[in-house]
Amino acid sequence: AGWSVCFRRNFSTAPSRLQSCMSAWVIDQYGTNGVLKFAEEITVPTVNSPSEVMIKVHAASLNPLDISMRGGYGAKLLKLRRDPMSVMDNNNDSEFPLILGRDVSGVVVDCGSEVTHFVPGDEVWAAVPPWKQGSLAEFVTLTEYEVSHKPKLLSHTEAASIPYVANTALSAFVNAGGLCRDSSSNKRVLITGGSGGVGTFSIQLLKAWGAHVTVTCSQNAEGLIRGLGADEVVDYTAGDAHEQLGMMEKFDVILDGVGGETEQWAIGLLKPWSGAKYITLVTPLLFNTDSMGLLGGMFQTGFTLHSKATQNIISSGVFYRWGFYAPDGPALDEVSKLVDAGKILPVVEAQFPFTQVPQAFQKLEQGHARGKTVVRVA
């Protein structure tokens, strides 16, 4: 909210307090790719609170969420998070112009008075929460807690491929799955949908933590997935993936990045009555609040989660959980160390210049990701 027309200034050098306007890809309405617009007179998101950090964006990357948000997915709940007063007015469009883009790698240009970990000039990376203005812009402003120092070994383009999937995977494995660096050794983990952004990161994280990793993917992704360290790879396009998986030793944790029917057979692959956990990233929360309204959607979502969790714990003693992205700069600090130790590599499938953001969206929308699609901003 509060974006106004401003004077165009030159951002080729560090911005001064006078500079007020930037370029960004924005949407003014929800829809297909045609709603993406390049705007040159967007107000720069300056530091407005003592804990904020303003970043000059060098690279951003796209996630499936960007495609969904472009079409209006999650609009009701995200709008409430941005502006709690919007609940009083169903018809206002205060979120526009909306900037998409959830990953940033860039350089700090300004810090609030209480920021302690960053100074202007620091190279940083972060995942931008979906309720904040995104990174398909020259500048983005986040709270210090959401930001982390970028791995030294990576270029900005490489670094931008990691934060959102890393924060998602870590939140799922640590908060929902109870895994961590010191508790994963020899744990058997299955990742479905392993060849995309979350999967290619998760395989490497779990191998760095000492887990045994099995992955489902298309046949033509097997080389990539084995190269990232997966112990077992199952081609889901062969049609009998769940039978092949059923012949293997049972799993301690499943991260499901596919959802739908997968949920029905995957839960049976877990070790019964031993604290095993099924975590799906494909959850109905935002879909429900979009289609049923905030109260009805949240009630339905709570009911669904409660009944599935109860049913699974009673029938087989496995925990049924939902995994969500969570902003977490300190978690990215740990990832940064793993990257600089050579244990996690960026998997950049495609790169686009800032002028070709709609083409980057088209690439992502075609599906069959093999890692990440990155946009070079500066």
> What residues make contact with ligand NDP under the rule CB under 6 A?
63-65, 165, 168, 192-193, 195-199, 216-218, 236, 257-258, 281-283, 323-325, 367-369
Rounded to the nearest whole angstrom, what is the least distance from the CB of residue 189 to ligand NDP in the complex? 15
How far is CA 29 from each of CA 36, 82, 147, rounded to the nearest angstrom?
Answer: 9, 17, 29
How far is CA 267 from each of CA 189, 211, 279, rounded to the nearest angstrom?
Answer: 12, 19, 9
Residue 54 or 172: which CB sits closer to ligand NDP? 172
Instruction: Assign 286 to helix, strand or coil.
Output: helix
Rounded to the nearest whole angstrom, what is the least distance from the CB of residue 195 to ligand NDP in the complex? 4
* Whole-angstrom distance, CA of residue 66 vs CA of residue 289: 18
User: What phi and psi values does residue 235 have, to the nearest 5 degrees?
Assistant: -80, 110
Residue 56 or 188: which CB sits closer to ligand NDP? 188
Residue 21 or 142: which CB sits closer to ligand NDP? 142
CB-CB neighbours of 78 under 10 Å? 21
Rounded to the nearest whole angstrom, what is the least distance from the CB of residue 17 to ligand NDP in the complex? 36
Rounded to the nearest whole angstrom, what is the least distance from the CB of residue 373 to ligand NDP in the complex? 8
Rounded to the nearest whole angstrom, what is the least distance from the CB of residue 170 to ligand NDP in the complex? 11
Longest dimension (CA), the chain: 65
Q: Which residue is nearest to ligand NDP (CB)?
A: 196
* Whole-angstrom distance, CA of residue 227 vs CA of residue 229: 5
Residue 111 or 364: which CB sits closer to ligand NDP? 364
* Whole-angstrom distance, CA of residue 204 vs CA of residue 206: 6
Measure CA of the first residue to CA of the last residue in the chain; give whole Å. Answer: 25
CB-based burial of residue 155 (10 Å sphere; 0-12 exposed, 13-18 middle, 19+ buried)?
middle
Residue 136 or 281: which CB sits closer to ligand NDP? 281
Residue 45 or 194: which CB sits closer to ligand NDP? 194
CB-based burial of residue 320 (10 Å sphere; 0-12 exposed, 13-18 middle, 19+ buried)?
buried
Rounded to the nearest whole angstrom, what is the least distance from the CB of residue 98 to ligand NDP in the complex? 18
Residue 198 or 245: which CB sits closer to ligand NDP? 198
Rounded to the nearest whole angstrom, what is the least distance from the CB of residue 18 to ligand NDP in the complex? 38
Residue 155 or 218: which CB sits closer to ligand NDP? 218
Indicate the residue type of 201: F
Rounded to the nearest whole angstrom, what is the least distance from the CB of residue 67 to ligand NDP in the complex? 9
Beta-bridged to residue 321, according to DSSP, are 279
Q: Whose CA is closest to 362, among 370, 373, 371?
A: 373
